[in-house]
Amino acid sequence: MNVLLFGASGRIGRRITDELTERGHEVTGVSRSGEIEGVDDPNVEAVAGDATDADDVADLAAGHDAVASALGPAKNEEVDILPQMADTLITGVGRTDVDRLVWTGGAGGLSVGLDTKLIETDEFPDDLVPLAQAHIDALEEIRDADDLEWSYVAPAARIEPGERTGEYRTAEGQLVATDDGESHISMEDFAVAFVDELESGDAIHTQLGVGY
């Protein structure tokens, strides 16, 4: 598969890039500078692009089998940039023949029980509410993109650099947690789940929670 990956220079995006190339896929990795530190692979082409510019997105997406995102708000941006980038990717991709979008989402919008999202729980940190809400707003943009075969892949509550075990569980719309209530995943195993979904298309038009 020939994948255009936005956010390829980010912490999660670099792991998705590695997972894709390990499986023999070709990656066009987008960052604003056109640089992707720490990735040196002949199957990765680093290109400059702006996820807030639909013309850029359309130009870059053309000719790819799928568009993927590990986008996050840049440090100097408001978190609202995230739903804007979702909207822009949908608009840009919509001008091409590409019909597949796999998006890295947030855990806050996943359900933890009947009618309760993680963001609504007392334990959810106040300082993360705006970012979690921006992820929920991005999901709303993506949900409206009926013409696209989209998947919104959301990590566990805690996601950190770690080991690639290849083990994970998924749940549609639900936060994945262990029996003792721990919700976590390594970035490497999140990348495995993300690329599994990209390859299989098992969770099209789905908000998919991923965790151990």
Ligand X SMILES: NC(=O)c1ccc[n+]([C@@H]2O[C@H](COP(=O)([O-])OP(=O)(O)OC[C@H]3O[C@@H](n4cnc5c(N)ncnc54)[C@H](OP(=O)(O)O)[C@@H]3O)[C@@H](O)[C@H]2O)c1
List of residues contacting ligand X (CB under 6 A): 6-7, 9-13, 30-33, 49-52, 70-72, 74, 104, 106-107, 131, 155, 157, 159
Q: How far is the CB of 20 from ligand X (least distance, A)?
A: 15
Residue number with the smallest Cβ distance to ligand X: 10
Nearer to ligand X by Cβ, of 31 and 186: the residue is: 31
Q: How far is the CB of 115 from ligand X (least distance, A)?
A: 20
H or E segment to which residue 48 belongs: strand 44-48
Nearer to ligand X by Cβ, of 10 and 92: the residue is: 10
Q: How far is the CB of 99 from ligand X (least distance, A)?
A: 21
Q: How far is the CB of 151 from ligand X (least distance, A)?
A: 14
Q: How far is the CB of 76 from ligand X (least distance, A)?
A: 10
Tokens of 112: 């933890």
Q: Tell me the C-alpha distance between 59 and 99, whole Å.
A: 15
Burial class (CB in 10 A: 0-12, 13-18, 19+), 63: exposed
Nearer to ligand X by Cβ, of 76 and 180: the residue is: 76
Nearer to ligand X by Cβ, of 47 and 146: the residue is: 47
Owner of token pair 């390829």: 8
Nearer to ligand X by Cβ, of 125 and 146: the residue is: 125
